[in-house]
């Protein structure tokens, strides 16, 4: 016991300073796929992506939908001069259209700096109800990591609750399966105002590999009004925290 205490004192504080300080991803981290060159593409390039995230228009320009991308890296391996992985965490957006390459994204830095002010604007802690609407479990591991000493999400006034009646944010993972449709609608219906929906993971954003099939509705926005999209398969804990930061902003705006 004494040895454990000594190691703790020597190690000092290990909890991340995010969002007050940026969290830098390690070199080689596959946070998102970037389009390095969008011109001169062949339509056959569309067949490389298993989820249909790549589209080539009539002008031979490439569009990459990160809301459908599962980070498999097939496009990077086939055309490394056109696609590359980017080592970044903050990939969430309040607009589905902003997940498409070339679209204007959210201004991350002001949002990161203002988290404390937004929580104070609500004059209470923010409570989150997580619903697995049909995920493969990958996103759940990353959400669980938010409770460990490094991320310590509760230090920011963000708490998970088992009851949607006490929740401000509905955090949904997985493409919505038919058996989960009614429970998800019911959870949203009983939540008090103001409230927000965060879709976490590619499946929740678009349906992922199962999108368009007979077993899922596709993304969560096919059923509920999504306020924040967090792409990735799965997204890292900081990416999820960034999405929650955006959701807190939605709540603060509604409460104003």
Instruction: Give the pLDDT confidence of 185-240 residue by residue, as tens digits.
Output: 999 999 999 999 999 999 999 988 876 667 788 899 999 999 999 999 999 999 99
CA angle 127, 130, 134 (to 5 degrees): 165
- Select, from the ranges 99-103, 133-137, 207-211, the one with the highest average predicted confidence (pLDDT): 133-137
- State the chain's mean pLDDT as an integer: 87
**What residues contact residue 243 under an 8 Å CB cut-off, 6+ apart?**
92, 198, 200, 228, 229, 230, 235
**Residue 71, C-beta contacts closer than 8 angstroms, at least 6 positions apart:** 30, 32, 33, 85, 202, 232, 233
pLDDT in the model for residue 107: 55
Helices 237-255 and 138-145 meet at what angle, rounded to 10? 70
Residues with Cβ within 8 Å of residue 245, at least 6 apart in sequence: 19, 111, 112, 115, 118
Provide the CB-side half-sphere exposure for 162 (13 A, CA): 0
Confidence bin at 248 (pLDDT 50/70/90): confident
Tens digit of each residue's pLDDT (9 = 90 or more) over 37-59 = 999 999 999 999 999 999 999 99
Contact, 205 vs 219, CB < 8 A? yes
State phi, psi for 60 to the nearest 5 degrees: 65, 30
- Asked whether the whole model's pTM tops 0.75, one would answer yes
């Amino acid at each position: 016991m004494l040895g454990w205490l000594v190691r703790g004192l020597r190690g000092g504080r290990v909890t991340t300073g995010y969002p007050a300080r940026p969290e830098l991803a390690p070199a080689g981290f596959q946070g998102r796929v970037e389009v390095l060159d969008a011109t001169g593409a062949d339509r056959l390039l569309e067949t490389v992506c298993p989820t249909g995230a790549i589209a080539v228009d009539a002008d031979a320009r490439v569009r990459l939908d990160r809301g459908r991308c599962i980070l498999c890296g097939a496009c990077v391996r086939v055309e490394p001069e056109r696609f590359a992985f980017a080592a970044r965490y903050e990939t969430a957006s309040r607009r589905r259209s902003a997940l498409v390459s070339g679209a204007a994204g959210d201004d991350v830095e002001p949002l990161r700096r203002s988290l404390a002010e937004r929580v104070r604007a609500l004059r209470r802690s923010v409570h989150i109800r997580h619903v697995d609407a049909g995920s493969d479990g990958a996103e759940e591991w990353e959400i669980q990591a938010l409770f460990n000493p490094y991320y310590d999400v509760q230090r920011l006034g963000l708490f998970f609750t088992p009851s949607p009646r006490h929740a401000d944010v509905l955090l949904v993972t997985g493409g919505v399966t038919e058996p989960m449709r009614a429970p998800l609608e019911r959870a949203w219906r009983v939540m008090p105002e103001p409230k927000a929906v965060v879709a976490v993971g590619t499946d929740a954003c678009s349906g992922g590999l199962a999108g368009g099939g007979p077993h899922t509705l596709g993304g969560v926005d096919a059923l509920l009004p999504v306020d924040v999209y967090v792409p990735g398969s799965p997204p890292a804990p900081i990416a999820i925290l960034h999405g929650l930061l955006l959701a807190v902003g939605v709540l603060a705006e509604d409460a104003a």
